[in-house]
Structure formats: structure tokens, C-alpha cells
């Protein structure tokens, strides 16, 4: 019996690399899509994992390349993770953000549909940004969706497309509404990695203080490995559907900082400085997810606690800085 083939867009990113590892561990043949001209960079980032999967080029802004990759790989499962991921940057070029996220998703769904009876089961990564000022917290799959950024608007359009293709054409398509999820593979421009890196650097005497904005901002942080495990569970389920993946617990930035510094035996207050230039108004609705449906339908539950996650990230930063 031939191994199932999975096509993963954004395979070199945080979620893509963990999903690739998970799928390979389940005996899949994995094909990863990366941006044109970025194959060697992707191999370097993936390390030993790159030896176990095939890499192909495709661009979210080039519909022909997306259609070609789907047609030539003919996957049994398609996991669409690729997207611009840094939310503030979506204001710099909202048009391209919409084209890459909503347009790319539409093209991939249509390309899958064109395979007819061989159409793959599909997962599309959505985002908690689709809720915006939802007016209720925690948010679930039927909460009001009122995004406040071009990124959130684009993700909401992609989320809607999944439901439309599922209802109109019977595609087995799932949308995963993921809240903040982290790992040692998270780029340093994201807040949790900035915090864990600073805790490690201060512990090693390489840095004196950490400057942040509001310490009262709330986020729902989970482990990336838990989230990608949810993606596989959703695609393996008997029926397609949309699911919130989150811890269900809102934590402040201060709690994040204190957890990271405590891991290396430091008092955060001795090294923390609030910079007014970084302070932003608090959200009207706390972005906290309700994963009840994923728990009841898929049997999904986070396996990695917040403390374990942050400790793992700090340890990885300590090791990297020592090198």
C-alpha cells in the first residue's frame, strides 16, 4: 500500500516544519511548497528534516504556480499554512496581503476541486485575528467576526472560502482558527521569542534589561506542536469542519515575562522597563479562544503547558547564545 502524500505550503515556517515532522512520523510522503528562489534557504532552515521530504516552488501571488503544484503532486491531503504572518506588516501593503492570503487560498481550493474524484482533504490555517472586536471572550467558531487589520480581513475571507467550497462543492475542507502559538522556531520579531531571548541573554550577562510596551495586554498562548497535531486530527476526522485551537486561558504579557525570567532564576522586575513608545491601547475584546469543539469532536487537548512551552523556548535561546 502506497504512503499517503501530503502537500504542505509554508513547510519551512514554524508550523510547517512541525507538521512535516508529524506527518513523516505517521508514514506520509511529504511535499513542501516554498517560495521561488528559496529552496536552498528552506533546506538550511529545515536542517535534517529537509532530507526526508521533497521541496517544490510555488508563490501565493502566482496562481499558475499554485495550480501546477497541486496538479503535479496530486496530494491525498493539502495543508495550506503559507501566509504573511506578521500582523502589523499587513498595513504596509494591504492589497498584497489580501491577494496572498485570500487569493492564494481561493486558487488552492479551486485547484483541489479540479482534481475531481482525486481531490485531497484540505486544511487551511486561519487566525484568531478574524474575530477582532467580537464583543465576547472567549471566542468560538460561531462568535461574531469583526477583524481590525488587513491581515484579519484577509484571513476571514480565506475562512469564508473554505466554508463556501465545502458547502457548494462538497470539498473536504477544514479551517483551523488558531490563536497565538509558539515554539523555539518562532522568529524573534514576535513578542514571546523576544521575551525568552532576553531572559536567556540577561541570565548569561549579555544584556541588562528588556523594554516592552503594555504588560497588561492579554493573549492566549499555546504550543505550535499542539496546534499542528490538531490539523492532522481535523483532516483525519470523518467529516470536515472548522475548529478553534487555543489553550482557552488568557495570560498577560507580564505573566509571560515573569514565567520566562523565573525559569532562569531571575526576578523580572529587576530587568524590565516599560517603554511608553511601545504602549498600545488594550483590545476591546480579549483574544482568548474556546477550543471546546476541537476537544469534543476531535478529542484534541493541549499536551504542552504554558510553563513547559516558555521554559523550552528559554532553554533553546540559552543554548543558541552559548554557541
**Which residue in the list 127, 128, 137, 222 is annotated as catalytic?**
127
Residue 137 falls in the annotated catalytic set: no
Nearest Cα to Cα of residue 101 among 156, 46, 21, 142: 156
**Which residue in the list 18, 28, 79, 151 is annotated as catalytic?**
151
**Which residue in the list 29, 77, 129, 141 is annotated as catalytic?**
129
Residue 243 falls in the annotated catalytic set: no
Residue 151 falls in the annotated catalytic set: yes
Cell numbers linked to 171 = 470539498
Strand duo 77-80 + 121-127: pairing: parallel
- Would you name the residues annotated as active-site residues? 127, 129, 151
Amino acid at each position: 500500500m502506497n504512503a499517503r502524500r501530503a502537500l504542505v505550503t509554508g513547510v519551512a515556517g514554524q508550523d510547517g516544519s512541525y507538521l512535516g515532522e508529524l506527518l513523516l512520523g505517521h508514514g506520509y510522503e511529504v511535499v513542501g511548497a516554498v517560495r521561488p528562489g528559496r529552496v536552498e534557504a528552506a533546506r538550511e532552515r529545515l536542517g535534517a528534516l529537509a532530507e526526508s521530504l521533497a521541496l517544490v516552488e510555488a508563490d501565493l501571488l502566482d496562481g499558475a504556480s499554485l495550480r501546477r503544484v497541486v496538479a503535479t503532486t496530486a496530494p491525498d491531503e493539502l495543508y495550506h499554512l503559507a501566509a504573511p504572518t506578521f500582523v502589523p506588516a499587513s498595513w504596509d501593503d494591504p492589497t498584497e496581503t489580501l491577494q496572498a492570503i485570500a487569493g492564494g487560498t481561493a486558487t488552492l481550493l479551486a485547484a483541489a476541486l479540479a482534481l475531481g474524484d482525486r481531490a485531497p482533504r484540505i486544511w487551511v490555517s486561519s487566525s484568531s485575528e478574524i474575530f477582532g472586536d467580537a464583543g465576547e471572550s472567549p471566542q468560538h467558531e460561531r462568535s461574531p467576526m469583526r477583524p481590525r487589520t488587513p491581515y484579519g480581513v484577509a484571513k476571514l475571507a480565506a475562512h469564508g472560502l473554505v466554508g463556501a467550497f465545502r458547502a457548494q462543492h462538497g470539498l473536504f475542507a477544514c479551517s483551523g482558527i488558531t490563536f497565538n502559538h509558539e515554539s523555539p522556531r518562532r522568529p524573534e520579531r514576535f513578542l514571546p521569542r523576544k521575551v525568552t531571548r532576553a531572559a536567556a541573554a540577561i541570565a548569561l550577562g549579555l544584556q541588562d534589561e528588556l523594554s516592552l510596551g503594555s504588560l497588561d495586554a492579554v493573549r492566549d498562548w499555546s504550543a505550535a506542536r499542539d496546534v499542528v497535531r490538531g490539523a492532522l486530527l481535523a483532516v483525519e476526522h470523518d467529516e470536515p469542519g472548522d475548529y478553534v485551537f487555543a489553550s482557552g486561558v488568557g495570560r498577560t504579557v507580564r505573566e509571560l515575562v515573569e514565567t520566562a525570567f523565573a525559569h532562569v532564576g531571575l526576578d523580572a522586575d529587576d530587568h524590565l522597563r516599560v517603554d511608553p513608545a511601545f504602549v498600545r491601547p488594550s483590545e476591546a475584546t480579549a483574544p482568548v479562544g474556546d477550543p471546546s469543539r476541537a476537544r469534543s469532536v476531535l478529542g484534541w487537548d493541549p499536551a504542552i503547558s504554558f510553563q513547559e512551552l516558555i521554559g523550552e523556548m528559554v532553554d533553546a535561546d540559552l543554548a543558541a547564545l552559548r554557541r
